Structure 1
């Protein structure tokens, strides 16, 4: 391996953002943030790392295994690189913006880093764009965040959108109602996560035959939202579980009314990835993509100390960018040495990218091919620099 090749080698899960993809991502991020701002979401900018005992406390405990940690030479305390930005925004809301009027609408964009990737997302660094609606616990708040995400994604050209709703609190509420022992809930959760109805049925001697029957029915009540709601309404759910079901139905109705053409599905027992959520959850998909575009849901800003009710979403830029059309071709013009600065400035105000000839080289230009060296014309130099035009006697000449 040469020295240059060794320098180019990056850790697993890391990559360089190169032209034109880096510019494409930046433009896409700004369009999404502009769309969020139109809904009243003000932008915040959390730091790249924080004190470990702050970032990974409370709800942040669920992200502790994903975070890089290192000692701070300045304070002597342990720091953690952010593996997610949602918890940082919640901290900002409960500290810096504690006295701001509620509900508080905040948006954010930035890079996050994790110790390891997943099978579906092997990258260890990727961009997030998100929003948090803090201080209100109504179904309308959940629906607002979902509808804003759908409108924003459609606005940047992502088509064939769908949303999958979940209710990770439904099963725990049912277990509380039925007084199912904690010792049995772990095995039940494993069976539900595996979508293993036979394993759920096998627990009937420990959780009761009626409970196993109802939980098995919840497990199969997955699919289009109307089918899911019909199946859940057919169950004689106890009080707490019925309230969770009704909350899911209310949010689904509001979303359907706000986006009549949106495909809505539901999985009422899904829990993986939503461990710290306290209500309706959602994941965004497109038929044109092979992975989630983003996800979110209801949570509390600090579950260890009560905190505030909140609903948030996070969009994954790496997946979204695979669906974006190529950026429009930029007008790129080559300016020979000696071009007046005023002329160059005018071209830039007209939308041109100006590439100035800084060395004035001709036929002996070291980067030219042999054929280019034979002519050494301005057109050749412009073509070599990826320009579509060159400047000649006050006119943009197409190559």
Structure 2
């Protein structure tokens, strides 16, 4: 076999921006973590679904998924001659399954999923364009208990795979728009206010809100650890149309505190970025010392603005970020089997938890061969022997 020139090898290894190969042992580590997360979801009554990687464009981008249109790769189906899209998020697919194939299934409907998504471009916080998602959706109930169940499940699932320092940042993306509508802010004034709130710029908020500045500054300042933030937000004199959203938030915080008093929960009542199609309490998941968000979730309707949709809530975890919050892969017991080792003996070793590597020749130095193949042990007459 002729050697490939180094430049040619480098060209073959080059991947598009935002895509990467996952190599041993990291690929196996990711698969194990995803499996453990799905197992935890299943223990809480969530059953797995597996939507396709590609769908017809009109189905993939319908309802609330329309906001994903600029992140969706499109291809032509050579069979039907119809345009298809590669999924950029799995939540809309699960919503579609719930409202079509599982429309007659009993509610509440609890579904889980895992898979890869592809996006047209990365973001400043997430450079990757292909990454794994794993999550759940709770479809049917429209009450604080459902929101709390989802948030508590996200925290317990991450803890089950070894994540430490988990914190939940809650928001209600419908709150500020409801206040703005009640005050009859113009579109231009609201756009300026929205930009100021996104940047947490108090001076800009005061300038954009005009006579309503004290109200919006009070909402902006009602941020921080949940108990104190809820108290500050409760003291704000909100228009009647916004009081229901505030009460929903308070109810969810109360339920979380009762079930998991040690869970770190913060509130940011003006956060809306990334929650454009959420209709109620929503949240972002972080871990201490880890760059980026581990996941997001919140309340929405499965059909978006379509009246046939159902109330739902759920969350999506991003596996690449989750892995950064966990210890690295654990070393495995890997043993080299000399050429001619009895198959039954190898089976018995695997049943005991060993990872077996069969030698494909008869090298003079089996210890050196074991080390070359990253084996911690060599099978001898005395059994697996450290090398």
TM superposition score normalised by structure 1 = 0.93
Mean CA deviation greater in 100-109 or 378-387: 378-387
Partner SS, residue 217 of structure 2? helix
Q: Does 1:155 align with 2:160?
A: yes
> Which residue of the partner structure matches residue 373 of structure 1?
none
> Which residue of the partner structure matches residue 332 of structure 1?
334
Unaligned runs of 5+ in 1: 363-375
Deviations 1:132-160 (A, max 9, x none): 00011000000000000111111111111
Deviations 1:30-56 (A, max 9, x none): 000000111100000011011111111
Q: CA deviation at 1:180?
A: 2.5
Cα distance in 2 for partners of 1:201, 1:397 equals: 73
Deviations 1:213-256 (A, max 9, x none): 21121112211112221221211112111111111111111111
Partner SS, residue 110 of structure 2? strand
Mean CA deviation greater in 97-106 or 343-352: 343-352
Residue correspondence of structure 1 range 166-245 to structure 2 within 5 A: 166-205=171-210, 209=211, 211-245=212-246
Deviations 1:68-113 (A, max 9, x none): 1111111111111100000000000000100000010000011111
Q: CA deviation at 1:204?
A: 4.1
Q: CA deviation at 1:183?
A: 4.1
Residue correspondence of structure 1 range 334-349 to structure 2 within 5 A: 334-349=336-351
Q: CA deviation at 1:359?
A: 2.7
> Which residue of the partner structure matches residue 272 of structure 1?
273
> Which residue of the partner structure matches residue 258 of structure 1?
259
Q: CA deviation at 1:124?
A: 0.6
> Which residue of the partner structure matches residue 82 of structure 1?
87
> Which residue of the partner structure matches residue 32 of structure 1?
37
Q: CA deviation at 1:179?
A: 2.6
TM superposition score normalised by structure 2 = 0.96
> Which residue of the partner structure matches residue 133 of structure 1?
138
42, 45, 49: which one pairs with 1:44? 49
> Which residue of the partner structure matches residue 310 of structure 2?
308
- Which has the larger Rg? 1
Q: CA deviation at 1:178?
A: 2.2
> Which residue of the partner structure matches residue 365 of structure 1?
none
> Which residue of the partner structure matches residue 369 of structure 2?
381
Cα distance in 2 for partners of 1:377, 1:232 equals: 72
Cα distance in 1 for partners of 2:369, 2:150 equals: 51
> Which residue of the partner structure matches residue 13 of structure 1?
18
Q: Does 1:288 align with 2:289?
A: yes
Q: CA deviation at 1:326?
A: 2.6
Cα distance in 2 for partners of 1:33, 1:25 equals: 12
Runs of 4+ displaced beyond 3 Å: none
